[in-house]
Chains A and B, each alone.
Chain A
Amino acid sequence: MKEFDLGAVQERFADIVWKHEPIASGDLAKICEKELNWKRPTTYTVLRKLCEKGVLENRNGIVVSLVSRDEFYSEKSERIVEDSYRGSLPAFIAAFVSRKKLSSQDVEEIQAMIDSFKKEG
């Protein structure tokens, strides 16, 4: 089953493949290094993920796409971003938001606060 949920990064990678395919994985890594500053393992990890999703295929070191660019964009529906990052950020990182989960009750409460604030103004 093909999954068309791609994050912006994965889309960018797919764009590179679509532009240069068919391309040896080694050359692909070189291009990614030049354009995105990626190290080899990073390129291969993303490649593996896209192969798992059925968008690309690595045939004996040559990378080709299984879905054409037009096909992909025509079928793209409202994306639900997949939160693959299960862990939480380390405590010593300066972030926008803390790592605590919100209950649905909390979400409603906070949304209500914001809405009433907007109304008052």
Chain B
Amino acid sequence: MNAFFIKLINMSITGAWMILAVILLRLLLKKAPKWLTCALWALVAVRLICPFSIQSLFSLIPSRETIPSGVVHYSVPTINSGVQPLDHAFDAFVQEVYKAHSVEWGNPLSEWLPIAEIIWLSGCLLLLIYALISWIRIKVLVSASVPIRDHIRACDEIRSPFILGLIHPVIYVPSSLSERDLDLALLHEKAHLQRRDHWWKPLGFLLLMIHWFNPLCWVAFILLCRDIEMACDEKVIRKMKREDVAAYSQALLDCSVSRKWISACPLAFGENGVKKRIRGILNYKKPTFWILSLSLVACLIFTGCLMTDPKAPNRQLSAKLRASMDLAVRKHNYNYYNDGYFPTAAYDVFGVERSDDTTCVYTWLLYEEYSFDGTDVREERGGSFPVAITFHTPQNGSDLSTYEVIDYWEPEDGNYYDRSIMGRFPKKYWNEALAFRDVNDLYKLCLATAREHFSASQNTEKSYSDLEARVSEQYGSTYQYFLENAHIYKGPPIIYVWQASPGEYVCSIFRQNNSTAFPVEPEKTNPSDLTLYIGIDEAKKILSENHLTEKDVVIYPLLYRYEDVNDEEYTLYSEHVHDLLFGQPDNYSNRPPYN
């Protein structure tokens, strides 16, 4: 309910901006036909009732979410009106209110909002009851009426002709109307029917029932009613001769007057509606082509600028920015966890703020490290919270693969969590940064990445039988020789890395048993001393499980093209194998990639 109510208030505020624009536009469009103005009000109505809207660059609406949907959870209520002075004024006001309360006060909105909702509902109901009662009263009044023409009935008790009924509308006229006045009044009522005003007016009132708390909506409704009447008048007199126009005005006057109703006191607000109408009728001139075209153009521009919402912040990460984020996140978090787990990260970006020197990404971060237990991945460590990472904006022509990190910001713990976020993040992101978040989608992404990573190595392991067959074929007698005689070698543990092709490796790790004599039949060798035909990743795992670093083992990389390989190429290959086994995940060394 809270979310709905706040959305309603925000829609009303957006509508209010639009109504202000229409009021201004109306002044400009004084010479334009009134049906155009009615169309503008129709657009306002759409805005007030439709929760969806498209975004555009041309939007003049200051903000689509003046009251943040999560404002109840903020430590201090604030607004995001898009107009700086308004925001500052509100914040200052809130400060004053808080000062008056000596005790540490939380956000009172969580209590006040339900009260406001009840008040709003009561207002709606009151207006609804008023509408129902008025309608019933009128219906009873005109029940004593006699038909005089098709769908037209005369009644003694009414003063002005009007239309009643939505689906089968009936025109009621005062029985005292002269024949001439009657014909003219009927022209007006029929124009109402043709324009479907007997639908628009009640619809407008319905909107007013919902948005009753917005004073601009009342202004809009009053102006709408006036514009509808004038549009009807224009429709009637458009093709009338001069004397008929005079007669029409006279009929209007006659209907407004009755001897018993003439009062001595002047009217409450300014000029009387009838006077304005008659003046408008008598001064009516058919709008010229230019006025019509200009007015249409003005209305189209208005539609573009006010029916659309301002663009939401940029949430896209370029590939480079994404890579930079991944690197920064890994560097920041992976330092703490040295267990060789596979790190993953997923983001829900709030926005990217760019300037000449810096690019700052405000995002929700889900960081997860996984291990592999043979069948499936296992979540080992992780964290989920908003972060703000600032990079150096790269200069033109720079070909860095990733951006340089200037600052990596995380929220503070415990009670200071909310406040630290509000201190660091721009206001427009508070809503998302502080809201309760369902990270299921992000979690699935991390899981998928981890599974893909481990299954890649697993698949390789599963097909090791044919890989091993290939290695055996490629290395031929050399392969067999090393396998049979490796146990002779005395020294630190040795890893043979056989390259089947670039990227495909078979490893064999031999632990050293100093008691092994020379020569020893291969069958007598303890199988646990050998680890044959494993992949790079499993080799790494064994090394880390046994806390073996680069200094503890001897690596023996083998290239089947041994005879064709020159020293330099072999050195590169050796270094690459070293990197594969002992390199850190973020080791971006300057060595050229081995291929």
Are A and B interaction partners? yes
Which among B176, B185, B256, B273 has the highest number of chain A CB atoms within 10 Å? Answer: B256
Q: A110 is contacted by which of B147, B264, B275 (Cβ under 8 Å)?
A: B275
Determine the distance from Cα of A79 to Cα of B177 in the docked complex, in whole angstroms.
Answer: 12
Q: Does B265 contact A (CB under 8 A)?
A: yes
Stretch from A17-25, A63-71, A113-121 contacting the other chain: A113-121
Q: Does B250 contact A (CB under 8 A)?
A: yes
Q: Output the nearest chain B residue to A6 by Cβ-Cβ distance.
A: B156
| B272 in contact with A106 (CB, 8 Å) | yes
Chain A residues whose CB sits within 8 angstroms of the CB of B157 once the complex forms: 7, 84-85
Chain A residues whose CB sits within 8 angstroms of the CB of B262 once the complex forms: 101-104, 107
Q: Closest CB-CB distance, B421 to chain A, in whole Å? A: 48
With A95-B160, A96-B160, A110-B278 already in contact, the answer to whether A103 and B265 are too (CB < 8 A) is yes
Q: B252 is contacted by which of A8, A83, A96, A109 (Cβ under 8 Å)?
A: A96
Determine the distance from Cα of A120 to Cα of B164 in the docked complex, in whole angstroms.
Answer: 38
Q: A117 is contacted by which of B185, B249, B260 (Cβ under 8 Å)?
A: B249
| B260 in contact with A83 (CB, 8 Å) | yes
Chain B residues whose CB sits within 8 angstroms of the CB of A81 once the complex forms: 174, 176, 258
Determine the distance from Cα of A84 to Cα of B155 in the docked complex, in whole angstroms.
Answer: 11
Stretch from B6-14, B129-137, B430-438, B457-465 contacting the other chain: B129-137
Chain B residues whose CB sits within 8 angstroms of the CB of A107 once the complex forms: 253, 257, 262
Q: B154 is contacted by which of A8, A38, A111 (Cβ under 8 Å)?
A: A8
Q: A98 is contacted by which of B137, B146, B205, B229 (Cβ under 8 Å)?
A: B229
Chain A residues whose CB sits within 8 angstroms of the CB of B274 once the complex forms: 97-98, 100, 102, 106, 110
Q: A7 is contacted by which of B175, B229, B278 (Cβ under 8 Å)?
A: B175
Chain A residues whose CB sits within 8 angstroms of the CB of B156 once the complex forms: 6-10, 84
Q: Does B428 contact A (CB under 8 A)?
A: no
| B272 in contact with A102 (CB, 8 Å) | yes
Determine the distance from Cα of A6 to Cα of B144 in the docked complex, in whole angstroms.
Answer: 13
Other than the known A9-B154, A104-B262, A107-B253, what 17 A-B pairs have Cβ atoms closer than 8 Å? A9-B145, A9-B175, A12-B146, A38-B143, A42-B144, A85-B158, A90-B131, A91-B201, A92-B131, A95-B163, A97-B256, A101-B262, A101-B267, A102-B256, A103-B264, A106-B274, A114-B249
Q: Closest CB-CB distance, A45 to chain B, in whole Å? A: 6
Which among B161, B257, B267 has the highest number of chain A CB atoms within 10 Å? Answer: B257
Determine the distance from Cα of A92 to Cα of B162 in the docked complex, in whole angstroms.
Answer: 11
Chain A residues whose CB sits within 8 angstroms of the CB of B175 once the complex forms: 7-9
| B202 in contact with A92 (CB, 8 Å) | yes
Q: Does A89 contact B (CB under 8 A)?
A: yes
Interface size on B, residues (CB 8 A): 67
Chain B residues whose CB sits within 8 angstroms of the CB of A46 once the complex forms: 144
Determine the distance from Cα of A102 to Cα of B253 in the docked complex, in whole angstroms.
Answer: 9
Q: A114 is contacted by which of B159, B176, B253 (Cβ under 8 Å)?
A: B253
Chain B residues whose CB sits within 8 angstroms of the CB of A8 once the complex forms: 146, 154, 156, 175-176
Interface size class of A (residues with CB under 8 A): 35 or more
Q: Closest CB-CB distance, B60 to chain A, in whole Å? A: 30
With A96-B162, A106-B275 already in contact, the answer to whether A113 and B282 are too (CB < 8 A) is yes
Chain A residues whose CB sits within 8 angstroms of the CB of B415 once the complex forms: none
Q: Output the nearest chain B residue to A37 by Cβ-Cβ distance.
A: B147
Q: Does A93 contact B (CB under 8 A)?
A: yes
Chain B residues whose CB sits within 8 angstroms of the CB of A12 once the complex forms: 146
| A90 in contact with B134 (CB, 8 Å) | yes
Q: Closest CB-CB distance, A15 to chain B, in whole Å? A: 10
Determine the distance from Cα of A95 to Cα of B279 in the docked complex, in whole angstroms.
Answer: 18
Determine the distance from Cα of A26 to Cα of B173 in the docked complex, in whole angstroms.
Answer: 28
Determine the distance from Cα of A15 to Cα of B255 in the docked complex, in whole angstroms.
Answer: 27
Stretch from B238-246, B406-414, B579-587 contacting the other chain: B238-246
Q: Does B221 contact A (CB under 8 A)?
A: yes
| A39 in contact with B159 (CB, 8 Å) | no
Some 22 contacts from A to B, beta carbons below 8 A apart, are A6-B156, A8-B154, A8-B175, A9-B154, A36-B146, A81-B174, A90-B131, A92-B205, A93-B162, A93-B163, A94-B162, A94-B163, A96-B162, A97-B256, A101-B261, A101-B262, A106-B267, A110-B275, A113-B278, A114-B253, A114-B282, A121-B242
Determine the distance from Cα of A6 to Cα of B202 in the docked complex, in whole angstroms.
Answer: 33
Q: Output the nearest chain B residue to A12 by Cβ-Cβ distance.
A: B146
List B144-186 residues whose CB lies under 8 Å from chain A. Answer: 144-147, 154-164, 174-176, 185
Q: Closest CB-CB distance, B330 to chain A, in whole Å? A: 64
Determine the distance from Cα of A6 to Cα of B282 in the docked complex, in whole angstroms.
Answer: 35
Q: Does B551 contact A (CB under 8 A)?
A: no
Q: Residue-by-residue, is A34-67 near B (CB-CB < 8 Å gives 1, otherwise 0)?
A: 0011110110011000000000000000000000
